[in-house]
Copies of this chain bind each other. A is one copy, B any other.
Amino acid sequence: MLPRHVERHFLGRDIVRDVVLGMSDGLTVPFALAAGLAGAAASSRVVLTAGLSEITAGAIAMGLGGYLAARTDAEHYESELRRERREVAVVPELEQKEVEEVFTGYGLLPCDVAPLVAALRQRPDAWVDFMMRFELGLERPNPARGWRSAITIALSYIAGGMVPLSPYMVFARSGAALPLSVVTAIVALFGFGWVKGRFTGAARLRSAAQTAVIGALAAAAAFGLAKVVA
């Protein structure tokens, strides 16, 4: 076994993906919103009210969105599984032709694939699994994924959002809290990007820099826009 197989079946990969999903936006959007409102000279109380509202709404929207996405994946898999089972049972000749087409797409001849097709026809269950993975490119989803995904995304969003909001809990004047919030957020985004790079296999320094730049851009744009609007 080569190392990449370990990575492919890495048990925590779904959790890492959900933490990244929630925390990327959680560290960025509440921070930028707070910077925008502070730029528009709102009080820290208004910044906190808006920031906490945003964190609540974002955590619910992203969490439940993740739950629904996981459930849709699971239902899609089940419905395709039923269809493949029916087709393997009812029109095996058509299914056999589909297996052949999968391989002839790679320049193989039907005679190269004949023994494989014959062997699959002896094992209908394995044949169905084979079609799910190789014809349709679908992996069996984890049934427990829905709620765990929702909670992981929501908590990551909340954890990310509270970091740049905390200075506004200390200083009543939002202008005084803003510089500390900016520094805290950029450091947190940089650290998060670094760790994210470690888990996703990307270059760490580049991942860290990109994450920090996106956060800074979003905050600068919100700051500028709020100054114009307010």
Contact B61 A29 (CB under 8 A): yes
With contact pairs A61-B25, A65-B214, A106-B123 given, residues A229 and B54 touching in the complex (Cβ less than 8 Å): no
CA distance A133 to B102 in the complex (A): 11
Contact B28 A56 (CB under 8 A): no
CA distance A57 to B164 in the complex (A): 14
Contact B139 A56 (CB under 8 A): no
CA distance A94 to B33 in the complex (A): 54
Contact A75 B202 (CB under 8 A): yes
CA distance A120 to B108 in the complex (A): 7
Contact A218 B130 (CB under 8 A): no
A205 within 8 A of B: no
With contact pairs A61-B214, A64-B217, A72-B202 given, residues A36 and B24 touching in the complex (Cβ less than 8 Å): no
Residues of B within 8 A of A226 (CB): 49, 52-53
Hey, what's the 0/1 contact readout for A33-70 against B, CB within 8 Å counting as 1?
A: 10111001010011011101110111011101100100
Contact B126 A221 (CB under 8 A): no
A118 within 8 A of B: yes
Beyond A36-B52, A56-B222, A61-B214, list 18 extra A-B contacts (CB 8 Å): A8-B137, A29-B29, A32-B54, A33-B33, A36-B53, A40-B49, A42-B46, A45-B229, A53-B226, A56-B221, A57-B222, A61-B215, A61-B218, A68-B214, A106-B123, A107-B123, A108-B126, A133-B137
- 20 residue pairs of the A-B complex, CB under 8 angstroms, read A2-B94, A2-B98, A4-B83, A24-B65, A25-B65, A28-B57, A29-B61, A32-B56, A33-B33, A50-B50, A56-B225, A57-B218, A60-B214, A61-B218, A64-B217, A68-B210, A68-B214, A76-B201, A106-B123, A108-B116
